Amino acid sequence: MKKSMVTYTLLFLALSSFAHTNPVPLTANTFDGMWGLEIESGGVGWLHVHEDQGFLDAELLWIGGSVLPVSHVYLADENTLVVTRTYEAKKSENRTHTVTMTLRIKKSGDTLEGTMTAPKWNGSGETETKFIGKRMPTMPERPDLSKVDLGKSVNLFNGKNLNGWRLIDPESKSAFEVVDGVLVNDPVQPDHGAHISYGNLRTEKEYGDFNLKLEVNVPEGSNSGVYLRGLYEVQVVDSYGKPLDSHNMGAVYSRITPNEAAEKPAGEWQSMDITLVDRHVTVVLNNKKIIDNEPVYGPTGGAISADVLAPGPIYLQGDHGKVSYRNIVLTTIN
């Protein structure tokens, strides 16, 4: 028995030594960098692969939610990257499962092709979702905003109707209406019956770089968002009195944390002054600059495109909670 244990121990050490001395070399990792993902379901993702601390690591955005560290990432071979992410699924009052999403990704030049597999909720089989990825363009230098050439200003909301706006998904239900000159979104769910899928409202026109000014009123506990070019969500939420966080009022959702808290209490009108130039964002909330010309390295959850160079709409999140907008004015930047 003792001899057998010694034999197994030596074999284990030999295999461990081989595994540690013959890995796929990190220098073979051509996946390094940031990738915009277009997902076949119509969603958008973002993947950042790096070796900043001497080991392979990554952060992932998958359709919605936040940019989060992955559970694990490894090179199966020099042209195959495997990424896993886990999340908790509460099945009952006393049972929670850890669900694993697995992305297997192949690379050809600056293009990725991959599949994401995950178990179905009922445990009978799995889902498979295909996606493609493109390497993100290099981030430009921080622009000199004092030299910005302002163009024409346009009032995006006329205070009378929703002319110039439409739902992103025409199959969804709209909770937006004009009440006493104010654009109000109130996505009420029924006490009984099926959940209603409310839609997000976007401008008919699309824009490049711009300055956007608006006023917003957020009731207690409510939540919404203003998307810049359909890519970057500036958070609209009742976060008064909370510690600084990348999910607070005026933050670029899960990407840029405000440098100070400038929220007003719930139910008060608040002003937002947002500038987007060369993929850098400045946010002035209630006359305080809380984000100062900071780079945004990729889309946020809920983005409608992974193309960070293309023009896009302003869109207002409509599926979370009640919120009101007024005085929405966009000034183009040439």
- pLDDT tens string 114-144: 999 999 877 789 999 999 999 999 999 999 9
pLDDT at 121: 78
pLDDT at 320: 87
Burial 182-205 (b: 16+ CB within 10 A, else e): bbbbbbeeeeeeeeeebbbbbbee
What are the sequence ranges of the domains in the chain?
25-135, 145-333
CATH class of the region 25-135: mainly beta
pLDDT at 187: 94
The CATH number of the domain covering residues in 145-333: 2.60.120.560
pLDDT under 50 in the chain at which residues? 1-24, 26-28
Distance CA 206, CA 148 (A): 20
- What's this model's pTM, rounded to 2 decimal places? 0.89
Q: Which two tokens stand for residue 101?
A: 């999403």
- How do residues 243-273 score in pLDDT, each as one tens digit? 999 999 999 999 999 999 999 999 999 999 9
Which residues are CB-neighbours of 305 under 8 A, at least 6 positions away? 44, 229, 230, 231, 299, 312
